[in-house]
Amino acid sequence: MNTTQHSIIPLSALAHAAMEATNYSPDGKTVILYSNGAGIDDITIHDLAWIHMIGEPRQARTAVALIFPPHRDTEVCHAARQLDSLGEALRRAGRSWDTVVARGGVRFRIYSDHGWLDEPETDTMNNDDLDRLIDAFAGSPGRSRQFDIARAVDAGEAWIEALQGRMAGRPIVSPPSASLQAGSVRDAVIVWAVGETGTDRLMPGERFVPPIQAPNPERIDIALSLLAERIGQPDTVHALACASYLAWWSGYRRLAAHLCYRARSTGQRSRLASLVWTALVRDIVPQWMRETVRPAQEDRARPGRPFPGSAHMGDEKRS
């Protein structure tokens, strides 16, 4: 195994290019990316079931074959061996080839003759939990349909009741008729998840003020589990967007990126998911992390210029 190209183009950037090339629906495919320098020169896409039909790799300084298995338990060792053998011609010429599993575009495992090498965890979510949540949010994008805005208040209350019930340990499922299509309903879920007792509801006309304390992991987990149950429903894209916001807020960058990819794969627009993606790309962190993680960077901001992201995603999340 040779990972020279990773110092030139990070795996996350390669995976993003592969996600775009497959229109954010890469499962069951292998994407081979070729580079002769700091950029990607060519991309080829192949069905995972037909990789034995792939010819000799193109001549390039470096190449990476990304495998996107349709399910976590899909056996890919045989496919990885076949792909890795394709790279022998490049290696003999002193060039580089890697074979990598890229679940959800964010969870990487590098193939070698000695077994699989997990990429180190790059955020506060461990790989097992990331795998579990990638599975939980898999499924049909659902078909969008018109939502009666007059039902938004009742839908918001139903979500709060479900969240509180799950918090109390009751076996409650996500409210089946309480669509997340209205911004006020999404607000209700997010404010509950990032808040605490006494600060987890918005009164009529009240504006969301981002908390400065770290979120309660139990509340985040409960909200994510209920949102995952919406996959396949007409409000799927909004459930994914809400979940991506909560993942970003919690510091789970890889999960947030995956959920943004999933939102894009629905073919439906979500301003909230776009906002989260912008935060990830620009390395904007939540208010509470700015208070605890980046005081030195904040001190270096120019006088009169807000710290990057101080427009507060929490203040702009309605879509």
Whole-structure pTM value: 0.85
> What Å distances lie between residue 17 and 7, 169, 237, 244, CA to CA?
17, 42, 22, 20
Ramachandran sector of residue 256 (left: φ over 0; alpha: ψ -120 to 50; beta: rest): alpha
For the chain, 319 residues long, give each residue's pLDDT as a single digit of tens: 444 444 468 899 999 999 999 999 999 999 999 998 878 999 999 999 888 888 878 888 899 999 999 887 778 888 899 998 888 888 888 888 999 999 999 999 999 877 788 888 889 999 999 999 999 999 988 777 666 665 778 888 999 999 999 999 998 888 887 889 888 899 999 999 999 888 888 887 778 887 888 999 999 999 999 999 999 999 999 999 999 999 999 999 999 999 999 999 999 999 999 999 999 999 999 989 987 654 444 444 433 332 233 233 333 343 4
Q: Note the pLDDT of residue 146.
A: 63
Q: Note the pLDDT of residue 149.
A: 62
Q: Note the pLDDT of residue 6.
A: 40
Q: Note the pLDDT of residue 1.
A: 46
* Geometric angle at alpha carbon 234, from 231 and 238, rounded to 5°: 65
Torsion angles phi and psi, residue 196, rounded to 5: -135, 170
Q: Note the pLDDT of residue 54.
A: 86
Q: Note the pLDDT of residue 315.
A: 37
